Amino acid sequence: MSEPITKQSVIANYLPTVVAPVADHIDAVFAPSNIALCKYWGKRDVELNLPINSSLSISLAHLGSNTAISVSDEDQVWLNGQRVAADDKFARKVIAFIELFRGPNGLPVKVDTQNNIPTAAGLASSASGFAALMLAIDGFYGLQLEPALLSAFARMGSGSASRSLYQGFVEWQMGVQEDGMDSIALPLANRWDSLRIGLVKVNIAEKAVDSRSGMNRTVATAHLYQSWPLQAAADLERLHQAIADNNFTLLGETAEQNALSMHATMIAAWPPLLYWQPDSVAAMQTIWQARAAGVEVYFTMDAGPNIKLLFTADSEAAVKQYFPDLDVIAPFG
């Protein structure tokens, strides 16, 4: 029987024999957060974070993570200016990821991450976090990895991080290879300057069930999940069409139906997973009311209670009548 494929065994094929820092520190590198319009939900390989379906996202411009690495006398992880306890889940994940490159006995490091988005609130900070960490590792150890490798390795930290290496629209192709090296994200050339994303913050507290456990539970227990890969494949096609034609109605309808289909599979899991809070539902009702009144606004939602609005610049004033405290992002600057 062949050995099971591990992250370590895949990455080792692409590293020099000796991985050591090329400087005592590197300045912070940035990776944007991203929001999927066609979601990644379900893994065909849990070790390598290989998805069951391809996904497509939009990056959030200046919102994301800045990560620096420096030589230190012991491993330490800092998040938003505060040292994180070494046995904390976040710190362990960060150090385990670095060990994939420097090995378990490599020189200790200090990792310093600043997120300008709320951590673990369904705003995908693990995506920008692992993408920025991957870029920082690449610089700190002078690896000079190609973009496809950076995306594949960031994916091993967190699936959605594969897409956070790029700005704009990004497609993560699921790939078919067993080692996952064709499961990488690629940027789309298309811009959509008038596209806007609005963040409706329902609750920025840490969520109870993270996306990783949520999707694994859904795949394992929800019969409804069977329909998901078909839905995702059809939605991906529609999104490509919408982007090529600048058809905002098609983009918004597809993204909203995709998100609700994903949530339907979670609700059908056991124990059930419902990330919605009363305010999430209230926001959905408001969006549907606004649409009925002629304002073209749609939403998407990840594994958390927050709602992300999709609209175009010409409707911004009208959308703000319904959501006065909205944070608005122009993904194409």
Q: At its nearest, how many Å lie between ligand DP6 and the CB of residue 164?
A: 9
Which residue, among 189, 196, 122, 193, has the nearest Cα to 160 in the 3D structure? Answer: 122
Beta carbon nearer to ligand DP6, 159 or 252:
159
Query: What is the residue whose two structure tokens read 């994903």?
Result: 262
Yes or no: say if 36 and 90 are a contact pair by the CB < 8 Å rule: no
Which residue, among 326, 319, 261, 323, has the nearest Cα to 294 in the 3D structure? Answer: 319
Cα 48 from Cα 232, distance rounded (Å): 21
Contact pattern from residue 60 through residue 99 relative to ligand DP6, giving x for each residue in contact according to CB under 6 A and a dash for the rest: ----------------------------------------
Total residues contacting ligand DP6 by CB under 6 A comes to: 15
DSSP for residue 107? P
Contact pattern from residue 11 through residue 40 relative to ligand DP6, giving x for each residue in contact according to CB under 6 A and a dash for the rest: -------------------------x--xx
Beta carbon nearer to ligand DP6, 138 or 235:
235
Yes or no: say if 66 and 113 are a contact pair by the CB < 8 Å rule: yes
Taking CB under 6 A as the criterion, which residues in 209-248 touch ligand DP6?
A: 211-212
Binding of ligand DP6 at residue 55 (CB under 6 A)?
Answer: yes
Instruction: Give the binding range for ligand DP6 (CB under 6 A) out of 87-95, 100-108, 141-149, 152-160.
Output: 152-160
Taking CB under 6 A as the criterion, which residues in 283-302 touch ligand DP6?
A: 302
Q: Applying CB under 6 A, which of residues 42, 64, 159, 252 lies at the interface with ligand DP6?
A: 159
First to last CA, the chain: 52
Yes or no: say if 252 and 201 are a contact pair by the CB < 8 Å rule: no
Contact pattern from residue 116 through residue 145 relative to ligand DP6, giving x for each residue in contact according to CB under 6 A and a dash for the rest: --------x-xx------------------
Strands (E), the chain: 25-38, 43-45, 50-51, 55-71, 76-79, 82-84, 109-115, 169-172, 185-187, 195-200, 298-300, 307-312, 327-329
Binding of ligand DP6 at residue 265 (CB under 6 A)?
Answer: no
Enumerate binding residues for ligand DP6 (CB under 6 A). Answer: 36, 39-40, 49, 55, 124, 126-127, 158-160, 211-212, 302-303
